Homo-oligomer: A and B are copies of this chain.
Amino acid sequence: MGRARSGDIEVAGSEGTPAPGAGTRLTVEIERAEALRLLAAAPFGRIVFTHDALPAVRPVNHVIGADGSIVFCTRLSAGLVPALGRSVIVAYQADDIDPVRRTGWSVLAIGPAHAIAAGELAAEYARRLGTWDDPAGALFGMEPTLVSGTRVIEGGAV
């Protein structure tokens, strides 16, 4: 946080101290393993899909299945209406951005999502997800086939 230098408190932004958010920023790529770790630890993310030929984005929470799939719950009316056994390509995005410091990360997974049939596994996922949005929602599992991410960090020189 800034350069608190003390007599008492010298807040970031006082003379000679760069304000939070000032200075150059570097964008660096995040590799797959780290991107998946960040995604798993994120409290929620966003399903990105096509609905009536238009882009749609829906925030939901998620858990990671034993097979590495990203599991979330949403209403079938959301446009994710593959018949059981069929799958549809969706994207799942999460980020953690500090708009004051202008740093943070963003991760995007792309892959096929399929409805999870009722059963023991579905019940466990539903329990781990907890109630969210619509209790009438349906469970989906998404295979993170393509995973990419970027991190914006503070640059060296200011």
Residues of A within 8 A of B (CB): 21-25, 27, 43-44, 46, 48, 54-59, 61, 91, 93, 95, 97, 99, 102, 104, 106, 108, 110, 130-135, 146, 152
Contact = CB atoms under 8 A, between A and B. Distances in A.
A48 B57 contact: yes
Contacts of A54: 91, 110, 146
Contacts of A106: 46, 57-59
A57 B21 contact: no
Contacts of A91: 54-55, 57
Given A44-B99, A46-B93, 14 more contacts: A21-B130, A21-B131, A25-B135, A43-B99, A46-B95, A46-B106, A48-B55, A48-B57, A54-B91, A55-B108, A56-B108, A59-B104, A61-B99, A102-B131
